[in-house]
Amino acid sequence: MLPIVRTPQALTEAMEAWKRAGHRVAFVPTMGALHAGHLALVTEGLKRADKVAASIFVNPKQFGPTEDLDRYPRDEAGDAEKLRAAGCELLYAPSVATMYPPGFASYVRVAALPDLLCGAARPGHFDGVATVVSKLLAAARADVAVFGEKDWQQLAIIRRMVADLDLGTQVVGAAIVRDSDGLALSSRNLYLTADERARAVALPEALARACQTLRAGGDVAPALAAAERGIAAAGYARIDYFELVDGERLTPLRAVTPGARLMAAAVMGSTRLIDNLAV
């Protein structure tokens, strides 16, 4: 059975004990509802450290008032067993009251980056992400923390925050894990009906076609427009964005430059899906 701690003090003590024993430690923050993509983060952590701890916390501060906080899938016991089987040796699973006790009044905001892309559609979302991740990393004091590249904007914001605040943890991005048809694994894929799931693959297909066009020297604007037409034709209800951006600053690009990345977000049925691809 995977050991579970529920206070920041207990997490700190466990991680520091590993360090005193000479171990390099990795930390994998999650919101649970774990799939193969999350477990790949544990695998990546084991490549870079001797011990891996993970957290499960569904963070209310990164959900908007009309978003899916109440129905977000939760299965602590099942997730703990998946983590144990993947090689994780400790789970941090705090309550909301532990993370945000009465009187909590502090927030972390990374300037500019949260206002772009997903941030435009989800105001305040990345402030909630930055706040909770700063608390998790401060308690874990890990040598390395592993995040998935599927949410590239989140990864860029966390990297900026960790560097700016001198948190002392190396932030590592792990490659997107995809299903056999190319759809990026996501806990929210569970919301898709069978028909929506079949049509959702249009998003990674559009990214792949646009990437191929741009790598071949095609113009950016027509490639992006063609991608959006393909996504809309598949029955996506809304396209929040399909853009070529600088991978660090997240600002739009009119031509391919080193580090450029295609970023996309669209809604299939009632489910908002995100994806990205390096160009």
Question: Choosing from 23, 35, 38, 125, which is the catalytic residue?
Answer: 38
Contact (CB, 8 A) for 274 and 150: yes
- Tell me which H or E stretch contains 55: strand 51-56
Question: Tokens representing 183?
Answer: 């759809």
Helices (H) and strands (E) in the chain, counts: 10, 9
Contact (CB, 8 A) for 160 and 56: no
- Tell me if residue 38 is catalytic: yes
Convert 214-230 to b/e letters by CB count within 10 Å (16 or more is b).
beeeeebeebbebbbeb
Q: What is the DSSP letter of 184?
A: B
Determine phi and psi for 193, rounding to 5 degrees.
-70, 170
Q: What is the DSSP letter of 234?
A: T
* Cβ-Cβ contacts under 8 Å for 28 (sequence gap 6 or more): 38, 41, 42, 45, 52, 53, 54, 55, 88, 145, 146
Contact (CB, 8 A) for 25 and 142: yes
Active site residues: 38
